[in-house]
Structure 1
Amino acid sequence: MKFTKKRIVATIALLALMVLTACNNEKEIKESSAEEPVQQEAVTIENEGVTTVYEQAPTKAISLNQHVTEIMLALGLEDSMVGTAFLDNEIYAPLQEAYEQVPVLAEGYPSKEQVISAEADFLYGGWASAFNEKNIATRDELETLGINSYLQSSSVKVAPTLEDVQQDITNIAKIFRVEERGQQLINEMNQEIEAIQVKIPEAEKPLEVLVFDSGETDIFTATQNFMNTLVTMAGAHNIFGDIEDNWATVSKEDTVDRAPDAIVIIDYGSTTAEEKIAFLKDDPALSQLPAVKNEHFVILPLSAASEGVRVAEALEILVKGLYPEAY
């Protein structure tokens, strides 16, 4: 067959037209898929009296307290976040790189205006204080603004268990459609906890422990919150664990009567752990406690002791501090 110059030019033109058409079709498909989100199966979550149906995973989330920020980052959700807030301590080191990818909206809670400006579609609160008219807005008001919310159940219930913390992690993983990551995180947590607990020495009587948060005239202490759970997991006994509340203010006299063997200092805020220890040593009544006389103090960062992903880290700090002979 003879290929004339005219026929060759026509063939080349036809091939060019076919390539151009294919490219345009591919572009249209990509643009169409970008405009239309992939349909996901709806997820219904019951959370502290609020039922929410998530048709799609949130894409513009804001975390409002450090321990829930760390849950989101541990689940690899930094790309689904438009903001974070309220650090108690430095961010958990393995999550620092992911944390730096998320805008910090405020040192404390962000304002309602900041939340709206960020076009948030989901707020994740660690403490009940996150959702009230003074701090941001109530959950009902957020709903009217088209913003879903989740409150860490294990942080607000009395006597939370490890399973309660893990249920919160599971719920967040479901909401963001990363269930496998959630289960992997829980499995790793359980393995680390088991490895630490085998190091706890056997004792006829558990150590009596005071959890010291703050206070000068009276003492603000952990009662039946997750810190009580951690102390129990460490094989010790919280001296105020019989009070049915998360936190309580107790008298110095009652503290002296219960004679703790060790004191866990909760480290956060403007008053340093060293300043809290100095106060205990200088106080006429508290300086007579066996724990103070023997200088048996354990410093536990609030961010590690909260209901988040650092349970194993918190437990290890307690076990090392309570039983230095085990290490």
Structure 2
Amino acid sequence: MPFARLARFCALVPITALLLTACGSGAPSDRAGDAAGAGVTLTNCGQRVHVPHPPRRAVALDQGSAEIMLSLGLADRMAGTGTWTDPVRPNLAKANAKVPRLAERYPSFEKVLDTEPDFAAASFGYTLGKGGVAPRASFEKLGVPTYLSPTDCADKDNSGDGDGVRTEALTMDTVYGEIRDLARIFDVRERGEKLVARLKSRVRKAASGADAEGVSVLYWFSDSKSPYMAGCCGAPGVITNALGVRNVFDDTHEEWPQINWETVVDRDPDVLVIGDLTRRSQSAESAAQKIRFLESDPATRNMKAVREKRYVLLKGQDLNPTIRTVDGVEKVAAALRAFGLTK
């Protein structure tokens, strides 16, 4: 059957197991290839997405999505980026400089459409929701396929008011799946496999000889009044599990619950992993602000980690579920060795 007729046929009849490879699907088994000229079809966060051709004017609406695309060597196929938490990773700065930055935070839907995009990707469901850039349906209505990082939907409940609840612990396999999906969509599968292999190698190298079993850590993202601390199972959980440490708030599946300082002091972690954020939306965003608070507050200044100045500074993106999570593993591993806390 000619491919043009096959594409029309796939749109008209139910997709059966016999047609999955020809018409495309989101199953891992068909990531190796797609029928020539048929585009890519996959299931993404519960939504069927069809990308008719490798994107030529893609927009990355969150930093995580942008850095994956840049790492895949796709700067020349990107029409814009938005919603930046931190400076771009240094090795991607040159490529990133070639891509228009539409906004530091959420660009307007109109500004995104002005780039004439043929594909849009985001790291967080909120970005592709009513409060962010625009709902996915608004893009799809205009013929622009969208992709949402599975790290924000797989085994995660975002129906509440917070940052979501993990029903299962996140692993880097979900990030690797995102890389492979985007590589497949852009038809650069080999680049995707090489990127995944590099990230896996870095995690193995960082964790080698960095066994810190019994060491307790706390991950503080932002805010000094009602601080956001990491629960068990998001990106900080990947760091925790890779290095064998224990998160003092591993008893909550909330992504970033707000926890009072009395509880923090009571759990008295050995090490404080501190978000060094460049944004200015809440109190105590930078690491310097956080450390000043910790060392001046009558309760927190007597914590073990504060007395010993066992601080590990991570960028906000290092604490998000993306390729930068690997940076977080490396930085925490190096700090644990420097503190003499590894076996």
Q: TM-score, normalised by structure 2?
A: 0.80
C-alpha RMSD of the superposition: 1.9
Written as runs of structure 1 = structure 2, the 5 A alignment for 1:199-278 is 199-201=209-211, 203=212, 205-223=213-231, 224-268=233-277, 269-270=279-280, 271-278=285-292
Partner of 1:127: 124
Written as runs of structure 1 = structure 2, the 5 A alignment for 1:136-151 is 136-151=133-148
Which structure features the higher share of helix residues? Answer: 1
What displacement does 1:39 show? Answer: 5.5
Partner of 2:302: 288
Q: Distance in 2 between matches of 1:119 and 1:305?
A: 32
2:197 to 187, 196, 204: 187
Q: Distance in 2 between matches of 1:275 and 1:106?
A: 26
Residues 112, 170 of structure 1: CA spacing in aligned structure 2 closer, same or farther, 3 A cutoff?
A: same
Q: Secondary structure at the match of 2:126?
A: helix
Q: TM-score, normalised by structure 1?
A: 0.83
Partner of 1:13: none
Partner of 2:105: 108
Contact 1:155 1:306 in 2 (8 A): no
Q: Distance in 1 between matches of 2:141 and 2:51?
A: 15
2:186 to 176, 179, 188: 176
Written as runs of structure 1 = structure 2, the 5 A alignment for 1:56-71 is 56-71=53-68
Partner of 2:293: 279
Q: Secondary structure at the match of 1:146?
A: coil
Following superposition, which runs of at least 4 residues in structure 1 exceed 6 angstroms of deviation? none
Q: Distance in 2 between matches of 1:303 and 1:220?
A: 15
Contact 2:230 2:255 in 1 (8 A): yes
Q: Is the aligned partner of 1:83 residue 2:83?
A: no
- Aligned residue pair count: 288
Q: Is the aligned partner of 1:297 residue 2:307?
A: no
Q: Which range is displaced more, 47-56 or 97-106? A: 47-56
- Percent identity over paired residues: 31
Contact 1:291 1:297 in 2 (8 A): yes
Q: Distance in 2 between matches of 1:76 and 1:41?
A: 23
| Structure 1 residue runs without a partner (length 5+) | 1-37
What displacement does 1:309 show? Answer: 2.4
Q: Secondary structure at the match of 1:195?
A: helix
1:98-141 CA distance string (max 9 Å, x none):
10111111111110111111111211111222112232211112
Q: Secondary structure at the match of 1:247?
A: coil
Letter in 2 for 1:309: I
Q: Secondary structure at the match of 1:128?
A: coil
